[in-house]
Amino acid sequence: QKQVLLFQEGDASMKTLLGGKGANLAEMTRAGLPVPPGFTITTEACLTFFKVGNKISDELLDQISAALKELEKQKGQLFGEATNPLLVSVRSGSVSSMPGMMDTILNLGLNDLTVQGLAALTSNETFAYDCYRRLMQMFGNVVLGIESYHFEQLLHRLKEEEGAEHDQDMSAVGWKLLVEDYKKCIVAKTGRAFPQDVYEQLRMAIEAVFKSWNNPRAQIYRKINRIPDDQGTAVNIQSMVFGNKGGNCGTGVVFTRNPSTGENTFFGEYLINAQGEDVVAGIRTPLAIAALKEEMPEIYEQLFAASKQLEKHYKDMQDIEFTVENNKLYLLQTRNGKRNAQAALKIAVDLVHEGLLSKQEAIGRIEVSHLDQLLHRGIDEEAIKDVLAKGLPASPGAAVGQLVFDADTAAEWNRAGKTVILARNETTPEDIHGVIASEGILTSRGGMTSHAAVVARGMGKPCVCGCEEVRIMLDDKQMTAGGRIMEEGDWITLDGATGRVILGAMPLREAKMTDELLIILNWADEIRTLKVYANADNPEDAKIARLLGAQGIGLCRTEHMFFSPTRLPVVQQMILADTKEKRMQALAQLLPMQQSDFEGMFEEMNGLPVTIRLLDPPLHEFLPNLEDLQKRHIQLTYELDGTDSEREETADLLRKVQALHETNPMLGQRGCRLGIVFPEIYDMQIEAIFRAASKCMNKGIRVIPEIMIPLVGHVNELKVLRELVDFVAEQVLGNDKFRECPYKVGTMIEVPRAALTARQIVAYADFFSFGTNDLTQMTYGYSRDDAEGKFLTHYVDRKLLPHNPFQVLDTEGVGQLIEIAVNGGRSIKPSLKTGICGEHGGDKESIFFCHLTGLDYVSCSPFRIPLARIAAAQAFI
Ligand code: ADP
Ligand code: MG
Ligand code: MG
C-alpha cells in the first residue's frame, strides 16, 4: 500500500489522505507554481503508526527512502552528503486546518559535516551556522521535548556577549559558539547527543510530528472546533529554500483579501533575510506587504499574480506562505484563509458578484456558528485586561453591568435606572423578573441547557453559566472569582460567546445587520424550503422575530406571561383557591391580562401563524419555595414572632404548597394533565385567545392562532381538550367569525408514547410540534436539570456520547421517534403540519435533520433566526 506520495503525484481532492497542506502543495505543484519539491507521508501511515504502538514500520521506512531518492534526483543533491547536502523541512499537515497546533522542523539534514559543506557551497558561513542552530533548537524542542526557553536563554546570553542587538547581527563565530552551547544543553537535558546521523534525524522528526497529533493543545483545539480525533496527521517532507541567506531573500505571509474586513485588497507581512516562523514569532517587526512593491517589485508582481491565480483556482480567499531565496519566489503553503464573520459574508457576496461562486456555493460556505458574533454586541478586545473566570458560553453577546446576587435587587436597581448583571448559583423560574431586569446572567452551576441558559438565549441576553470558579456567597452579597472578592454593585462584563467573566466595564461595539448579511439572507430565502418560526412569549420579542425574518411564532409559552410581579400573586390565588368559585375569580382577573398579551402578539404577527401553548409547567413552580415556607413556619411557631393571623396564614399556605408538592414534578401534574384536571384554567386561556382574535379581526388584522396542547401521551387527552378548544372558539367567536378564523389545534410531541401512537393522535391534531427538550429528556431518561452537572459532561468528554443531546439533536434515537411520528401522522392525514420548537430548532445540525425528515418548519429564539434561515438553505443544497 502506498503511504508516501511525491507532490507531483497528488492533488487537492486527496485532502483526507494528504492533509490540507500536502494536498494543496500537490495541487500547486500541478498548476506549475514554484513549489520546492517534496513528498507527503499519508494520514493512513500516521494511523498505522498509532495502531502498532507508535512505531514506523519497515515498509514505511522503505517507501520514505525511495521518495527521498526521487527528491535527491530532482534537486541534484544528496541527503547527508558533505559537499552538496539536501536539506528538508518536516511539516505536519492535518485534514482540517489547525494553524500552529502541531509542529514543524526546518533545515533537517544538517550535521557537523554537512554544515561545513553548506557553508562552502554558499560561501556564507554565517548563514550555514544560523541554519544549524535553528535546526537544533526546533529539533530539541519538537523532537526531544526540551522547553524553548532553555535555548532562548542561551541565545540571549550569547547575543549580549557578542554585542549583537538583532539575530542578523550575529557572526559565524557567534553561531558556532551557540551550536556548541545547544549541543551541551541537549546532552544535559536528555542524556544523549544531538543525532549526527541525518536518517535518524528524519525518522525521529517524523515520529515527533505523528505524535504531535496528540499533544494537549492540538487536542483542545480539536475539541473546541469539533474536529474528529481519529483523522491523524500527514507529514510533508520538503526540500528547503532559504529566506535567511541575505538581503535578496526573505519570507512572509499574504492574504488575497483582508481577513478582518473582507475588502478585496492584498494584505500581508514579510521580513527580509529571515526564515520560517520569524514573521509570526515577533522577533523583528515585519513590514506591510505594500513595502515589498518598492523593495522587490518583480517578486511582488509574481506573488500578486500567483495569489490571484490561487484565489480563482480555489474560489476562495487564500492565506499564502512564501519565501524568496536569491530573488526567486517560492510558495510554501496555501489554504482558505481564516476570517471573521463580517469578512466571511463580504467575501462570499463579492465572490458571487465577481462570478466566481454561485449563490448556492456562497451560502454553503457560511459558517453559521460565526453569525453569533455579528448579531450580538461584542467587547472591544483591546480593552480587556483582567479575565476573572471562564464558564460555559451559554448565550452569546456582551453584557456590562453592576453585580447583583438576587432577582429582587436586580429588578429594583433596574427600575432605579442602573444596569445590572445577575449572578446566581443557578436560576429558577422565580428569578425571571431578575433575568428580565438584567443585562446578562452569570451562574456558577448548570449547563448549556440549564434554566438560565435557555431563558437567556430566548431573550437574546448574554449568559455565562456553569462557571465553577465563581463562588457566590448570597448572605454576604459577595462573590469570589479569580482570587478576588467582588461586592454587590461592582462592575463586571460578561462575554457570552466565549464564557469569559471580565473585571470592570468594558467598552462595547454595537451589533448590526450589515448589507452583506441582508443579501446572504435573501439568497438563503430563495433557496430554502424549510420555514423558520420564532419562539416568542411577548409582543416585543415577536416584533424582533419578525424583523429578523420569522415566518410565524412556533412557540408562545403562556406561563412566561404569568411570571410578572403584578400577575404572580393572582396566579398564586388561582392555584391555591379552596373552591372552584375562588379559582374562577382569580381566573377572571387573569383573563384580560392574557387577552392583551395575545392581542399584542397577533398584531405583530399580522397574517402569520401564532402557535400558543397552553399552560405547561407543574403548578408549584409558581408557588413560594417549600423549604423557605417551612423555615418561616418553624420560626413563627417556636420563636413566637409574628402575629396569630400570620401564623395561621403561613400554616395554611404551607399545607397547600405541601399538598401540591411532587417528588418528580417533571413527570407529574403538568401540561395537558393540568388542563384535564382543572379545565377552567385552559378554558380561560382559550377564551383569552379567541377574544383577542375576535378583537383583532375587527381591526382588520389577519389572525392565525394555532393552539398547542402540551405533553399529550394518549389520544384521549387530546380528544377531550380539542373538544374544549372547538367549543370555546365557537362560543367566543360566534358563527360568522368561527368560519372565518383559520385556527388550528395541535399537540406538542414530547412524550415518546405520543410519537409511537401518532396515527391515533393525528385524528385530533392539525399539527405536530416536536418539543425536543422534553422528548430528549424522556427518550434518554435524563433529567435535563441534573444530567449536565452530574454525568453528561463526563459522558461527552469520554466520548460515550458524540454531543450533549440537549444541544444537538440525537438523530438516532430521538430522531427516530420524530420520523415515526411524522410518517405515521402524514400517512393518515397528508395535510398535517409539522415543526420543531425545542432548543434544537436553532442548531445547525438539528436543522439539517429537520429538513431531511420533511418537517415544515423549525422554531428558535429570535436571535437565532438568521442562523436558522441560512442553515435551512444549506440543508437544501
Ligand atoms: P504551520 O502549519 O505551523 O504554518 P509550516 O509547516 O507551514 O507550519 O511551517 C512553518 C514555516 O516554516 C513556513 O511558513 C515556512 O516559512 C517555513 N518552511 C516550511 N517548510 C519550508 C521549506 N521547505 N523551505 C523553507 N521554509 C520552509
Ligand atoms: Mg504554515
Ligand atoms: Mg415540554
What's the pTM? 0.77
Q: How far is the CA of 100 from the centre of ligand 2 (A)?
A: 7
Convert 584-651 into a string of H (helix), E (strand) and C (coil). Answer: HHHHHHHHHHHHHHHHHHHHHCCCCEEEEECCCCCHHHHCCCHHHHHHHHHHHHHCCCCCHHHHHHHH
Residue 265 belongs to some domain of the structure: yes
Out of 181-185, 309-313, 498-502, pick the least confident.
498-502
Nearest CA to ligand 1 atom 12: 276
pLDDT: which is higher, 638 or 668: 668
Measured from the Cα of 236, ligand 1's closest atom is 6
Place of cell 494520514: 43
In angstroms, the Cα distances linking 40 to 7, 64, 138, 236, 537 are 7, 9, 20, 4, 57
- Which ligand number lies closest to the CA of residue 109? 1
Residue 302 belongs to some domain of the structure: yes
Residue 99 belongs to some domain of the structure: yes
Mutate to test the pocket of ligand 1, among 86, 106, 244 (most ligand atoms within 8 A of CB): 106
| 685 burial via Cβ count (<10 Å: 0-12, 13-18, 19+) | buried
Q: How far is the CA of 236 from the centre of ligand 3 (A)?
A: 53
Q: How far is the CA of 773 from the centre of ligand 3 (A)?
A: 6
Residue 372 belongs to some domain of the structure: no
- Which ligand number lies closest to the CA of residue 276? 1
- Which ligand number lies closest to the CA of residue 244? 1
Alpha helices in 331-399 (DSSP H): 341-353, 359-365, 371-375
Q: How far is the CA of 695 from the centre of ligand 3 (A)?
A: 30
Pocket, ligand 1, Cβ cutoff 6 A: 36, 89, 91, 100, 104, 106, 238, 240-241, 251, 276-277, 321, 323, 332-333
Q: How far is the CA of 5 from the centre of ligand 2 (A)?
A: 20
Nearest CA to ligand 1 atom 13: 276
For the chain, the average pLDDT equals: 92
Mutate to test the pocket of ligand 1, among 77, 245, 332 (most ligand atoms within 8 A of CB): 332
Average of per-residue pLDDT across 143-156? 92
Measured from the Cα of 36, ligand 1's closest atom is 23
Q: Which residues contact 694 (CB under 8 A, 6 or more apart)?
A: 732, 733, 737
Residue 495 belongs to some domain of the structure: yes
Q: Does residue 282 carry a pLDDT above 60?
A: no
Q: How far is the CA of 774 from the centre of ligand 3 (A)?
A: 5
Q: What is the extent of the structural domain holding 94?
A: 68-239
| Domains: count for the chain | 5
The predicted structure's pLDDT at residue 649: 87
Place of cell 423557605: 628
Shared-domain flag, residues 857 and 792? yes
Nearest CA to ligand 1 atom 1: 100
- Which ligand number lies closest to the CA of residue 772? 3
Measured from the Cα of 92, ligand 1's closest atom is 6
pLDDT confidence tier of residue 597, bands split at 50, 70 and 90: very high
Q: How far is the CA of 83 from the centre of ligand 1 (A)?
A: 25
Amino acid at 507: P
Residue 818 belongs to some domain of the structure: yes
Shared-domain flag, residues 129 and 163? yes
Model pLDDT for residues 318-336, shown as the tens digit of each residue? 999 999 999 999 999 999 9
Measured from the Cα of 242, ligand 1's closest atom is 25
Measured from the Cα of 98, ligand 1's closest atom is 2
The predicted structure's pLDDT at residue 793: 80
Model pLDDT for residues 539-566, shown as the tens digit of each residue? 999 999 999 999 999 999 998 888 888 8
Domain at 197, CATH number? 1.20.80.30
Place of cell 420524530: 818
Nearest CA to ligand 1 atom 19: 89
Mutate to test the pocket of ligand 1, among 103, 135, 333 (most ligand atoms within 8 A of CB): 333
Measured from the Cα of 88, ligand 1's closest atom is 23
* Residues around the ion ligand 2 (C-beta < 5 A): 333
- Which ligand number lies closest to the CA of residue 710? 3
Shared-domain flag, residues 641 and 679? no
CA distance 237 to 212: 16
Q: Which residues contact 604 (CB under 8 A, 6 or more apart)?
A: 539, 542, 543, 546
Nearest CA to ligand 1 atom 27: 276
Nearest CA to ligand 1 atom 11: 276
Q: How far is the CA of 97 from the centre of ligand 2 (A)?
A: 10
The predicted structure's pLDDT at residue 184: 97
- Which ligand number lies closest to the CA of residue 238? 1
Shared-domain flag, residues 113 and 157? yes
pLDDT confidence tier of residue 355, bands split at 50, 70 and 90: very high
Model pLDDT for residues 237-260, shown as the tens digit of each residue? 999 999 998 889 999 999 999 887
pLDDT confidence tier of residue 495, bands split at 50, 70 and 90: very high
Measured from the Cα of 239, ligand 1's closest atom is 23
Mutate to test the pocket of ligand 1, among 18, 29, 89 (most ligand atoms within 8 A of CB): 89
Average of per-residue pLDDT across 847-868? 95
Q: Does residue 375 carry a pLDDT above 80?
A: no
Nearest CA to ligand 1 atom 22: 240
Average of per-residue pLDDT across 351-369? 94
Shared-domain flag, residues 388 and 310? no
Q: Of 472, 470, 457, 410, give the one whose Cα is nearest residue 436.
A: 410
pLDDT: which is higher, 288 or 204: 204
Q: How far is the CA of 426 from the centre of ligand 3 (A)?
A: 20
The predicted structure's pLDDT at residue 789: 72
Contact (CB, 8 A) for 862 and 544: yes
Q: How far is the CA of 717 from the centre of ligand 3 (A)?
A: 16
Angle, helices 15-30/43-51, rounded to nearest 10 degrees: 150
Shared-domain flag, residues 687 and 822? yes
Q: Does residue 646 carry a pLDDT above 80?
A: yes
pLDDT confidence tier of residue 370, bands split at 50, 70 and 90: confident
Nearest CA to ligand 1 atom 8: 104
The predicted structure's pLDDT at residue 645: 86
Shared-domain flag, residues 614 and 628? no
Nearest CA to ligand 1 atom 23: 240
Shared-domain flag, residues 220 and 268? no
Average of per-residue pLDDT across 140-161? 92
Shared-domain flag, residues 778 and 844? yes
Q: Does residue 451 carry a pLDDT above 80?
A: no
Q: How far is the CA of 73 from the centre of ligand 1 (A)?
A: 22
pLDDT: which is higher, 713 or 274: 713
Shared-domain flag, residues 313 and 389? no
Shared-domain flag, residues 400 and 542? no
The predicted structure's pLDDT at residue 448: 67
Nearest CA to ligand 1 atom 6: 91
Average of per-residue pLDDT across 698-706? 97
Q: How is residue 555 written as a grid cell?
A: 412557540
Measured from the Cα of 279, ligand 1's closest atom is 16
Residues recognised as catalytic = 451, 837
Mutate to test the pocket of ligand 1, among 104, 130, 217, 235 (most ligand atoms within 8 A of CB): 104
Domain at 552, CATH number? 3.20.20.60
Q: Does residue 511 carry a pLDDT above 60?
A: yes
Model pLDDT for residues 37-96, shown as the tens digit of each residue? 999 999 999 999 999 999 999 999 999 999 999 999 999 999 999 999 999 999 999 998
In angstroms, the Cα distances linking 195 to 148, 181, 191, 192, 200 are 18, 15, 12, 8, 7
Q: Does residue 137 carry a pLDDT above 90?
A: yes
pLDDT confidence tier of residue 644, bands split at 50, 70 and 90: confident
Measured from the Cα of 238, ligand 1's closest atom is 23
Q: What are phi and psi of 515, to 5 degrees?
A: -55, -40
Model pLDDT for residues 706-720, shown as the tens digit of each residue? 999 999 999 999 999
CA distance 663 to 378: 43
Contact (CB, 8 A) for 505 and 398: no
* Residues around the ion ligand 3 (C-beta < 5 A): 750, 771, 774
Shared-domain flag, residues 654 and 676? no
The predicted structure's pLDDT at residue 99: 66
The predicted structure's pLDDT at residue 665: 87
Average of per-residue pLDDT across 13-33? 96
The predicted structure's pLDDT at residue 559: 86
Nearest CA to ligand 1 atom 9: 104
Residue 19 belongs to some domain of the structure: no
Residue 54 belongs to some domain of the structure: no
Model pLDDT for residues 170-216, shown as the tens digit of each residue? 999 999 999 999 999 999 999 999 999 999 999 999 999 999 999 87
E strand intervals along 211-307: 233-239, 250-255, 267-272, 287-288
